[in-house]
């Protein structure tokens, strides 16, 4: 399979553990070769309507879209990267994709207002952290904390995997937040020490 291809995976007739392998391989291809997994589907023959034996040509079997399970793997690895190494890029990507998809599809009466802005701020926080820019880290952390609190309802509605860890994220970045990061005082030094740790 080449890079940047788009595929739809049908696991209807997959044998035993093969669906689990399909999800692992799909996640791997998405990360390493930028393969767009458009859908992972499963045709539920046993759930056909009406259920008749023998089945008739007009019977309909539902097809379940299992792609959200693959998305959950991305949210999981993004959460691990942020909480373990301060790398918010994957989570920021998921938030931006979710924000754009919802606005493109007009999927609900009320649409997210904060996801894209928070994704951008998380990405900047992560970059400042990795470049060892303490003043930027303290300033961005200070700006990010109220944004995360304000967007709790949006996380619960559209970014549930992030909603589960948002309190931990706040606990992790709170010691780094400083209202006046340019002012060198004892608090600033404590924040910089927390950043080193």
175 with 93, same domain? yes
Rg (CA), the chain: 22
- Final residue of a structural domain among 65, 87, 108: 65
183 with 113, same domain? yes
5 with 19, same domain? yes
112 with 128, same domain? yes
75 with 92, same domain? yes
186 with 159, same domain? yes
26 with 61, same domain? yes
CA distances 73 to 17, 30, 77, 90, 164, Å, are 17, 11, 6, 11, 14
**100-109, 139-148, 164-173: the lowest-pLDDT one:** 100-109
119 with 140, same domain? yes
Q: What percent of the chain has pLDDT over 90?
A: 36
- Final residue of a structural domain among 42, 65, 88: 65
Range of the domain at 29: 1-65
Sign of CA dihedral 87, 91, 96, 97: positive
142 with 162, same domain? yes
pLDDT digits (tens, 9 = 90+) for 147-188: 999 999 999 998 888 899 999 999 989 989 999 888 888 888
Q: How much is the mean pLDDT over the chain? A: 88
Q: Residue 132 — left, alpha, or beta (φ > 0 → left; ψ -120 to 50 → alpha)?
A: left
57 with 14, same domain? yes
50 with 72, same domain? no
Q: What percent of the chain has pLDDT over 70?
A: 98
- Final residue of a structural domain among 38, 65, 92: 65
Tally the domains of the chain: 2
- The angle at the Cα of 113, spanning 135 to 122, to the nearest 5 degrees, equals 25
12 with 82, same domain? no
pLDDT for residue 107 is more than 70: no
């Amino acid at each position: 399979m080449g890079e940047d291809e788009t595929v739809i995976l049908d696991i209807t007739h997959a044998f035993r553990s093969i669906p689990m392998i399909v999800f692992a391989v799909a996640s791997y291809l998405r990360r390493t070769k930028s393969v767009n997994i458009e859908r992972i589907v499963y045709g539920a023959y046993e759930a056909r309507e009406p259920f008749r034996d023998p089945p008739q040509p007009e019977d309909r079997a539902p097809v379940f879209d299992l792609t959200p399970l693959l998305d959950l793997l991305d949210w999981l690895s993004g959460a691990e990267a942020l909480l373990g190494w301060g790398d918010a890029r994957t989570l920021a990507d998921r938030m931006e994709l979710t924000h754009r998809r919802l606005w493109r599809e007009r999927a609900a009466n009320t649409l997210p207002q904060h996801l894209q802005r928070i994704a951008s701020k998380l990405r900047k926080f992560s970059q400042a952290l990795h470049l060892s820019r303490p003043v930027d880290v303290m300033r961005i952390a200070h700006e990010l904390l109220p944004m995360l609190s304000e967007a709790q309802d949006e996380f619960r509605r559209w970014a549930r995997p992030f909603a589960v860890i948002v309190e931990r994220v706040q606990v992790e970045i709170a010691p780094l937040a400083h209202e006046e990061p340019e002012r060198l005082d004892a608090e600033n030094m404590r924040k910089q020490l927390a950043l080193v740790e």
